[in-house]
């Protein structure tokens, strides 16, 4: 069973058709839309501020989503994939974003729609990532614009695949 706990009387809220892996942890002021999936060993801690997730968000194995007390909540749009062992902290990810494996996105950063944050990238506090761009490196910098076919071919494909993967595990 996943660990799902209230914090200060706030219990996580789940949309329709969400999959939560048996060893995922979700606590506090967390709201997610429909068709979301939270994978093995992922942690979503809405204990010190809110975490709001849209539809078709997947939080892959070992990823951590958190926020900053009395300062920064975390807002995640629709069709967002958060890669294995990524850290998303007190920031905003708009719709159609792909966060690569092991990437870190810090407080008050804004990742605009149709962005890819490369594996291992570190998006520093207060960084604004332009829409339709790929960011990579430490600290993360824009490396190029995303070709239109990559939005459907990567960002949408991965978000849709994770809805399908969740079906393999649901009610097992």
Q: What confidence score (pLDDT) does residue 53 get? A: 98
State the alpha helices, DSSP H only, in the chain.
148-150, 157-169
> Any idea what the CATH number is for the domain that residue 162 is in?
2.160.10.10
Report whether pLDDT(142) > 70: yes
The string of pLDDT tens digits covering residues 22-59 is 999 999 999 999 999 999 999 999 999 999 999 999 99
| Residue 56 belongs to domain spanning | 3-169
The total domain count for the chain is: 1
Q: What confidence score (pLDDT) does residue 84 get? A: 98
Which pair of tokens denotes residue 54?
A: 């849209």
Going by pLDDT thresholds of 50, 70 and 90, the confidence category of residue 133 is very high
Claim: this prediction has a pTM higher than 0.85: yes
The string of pLDDT tens digits covering residues 62-120 is 999 999 999 999 999 999 999 999 999 999 999 999 999 999 999 999 999 999 999 99
* CA–CA dist 123, 69 (Å, integer): 20
* CA–CA dist 28, 131 (Å, integer): 31
Going by pLDDT thresholds of 50, 70 and 90, the confidence category of residue 149 is confident
From the DSSP assignment, how many helices (H) and strands (E) are in the chain? 2, 19
């Amino acid at each position: 069973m996943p660990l799902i706990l209230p914090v200060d009387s706030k219990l996580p809220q789940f949309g329709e058709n969400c999959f939560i892996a048996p060893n995922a942890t979700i606590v506090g002021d967390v709201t997610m839309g429909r068709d979301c999936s939270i994978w093995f060993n992922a942690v979503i801690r809405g204990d010190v501020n809110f975490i709001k997730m849209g539809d078709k968000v997947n939080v892959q194995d070992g990823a951590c989503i958190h926020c900053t007390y009395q300062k920064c909540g975390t807002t995640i749009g629709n069709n967002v994939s958060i890669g294995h062992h990524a850290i998303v902290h007190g920031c905003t990810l708009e719709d159609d974003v792909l966060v690569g494996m092991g990437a870190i996105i810090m407080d008050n950063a804004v990742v605009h729609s149709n962005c890819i944050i490369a594996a291992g990238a570190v998006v520093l506090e207060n960084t604004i990532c332009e829409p339709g761009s790929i960011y990579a490196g430490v600290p993360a910098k824009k490396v190029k614009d995303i070709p239109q076919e990559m939005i459907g071919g990567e960002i949408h494909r991965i978000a849709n695949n994770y809805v399908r993967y969740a079906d393999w595990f649901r009610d097992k």
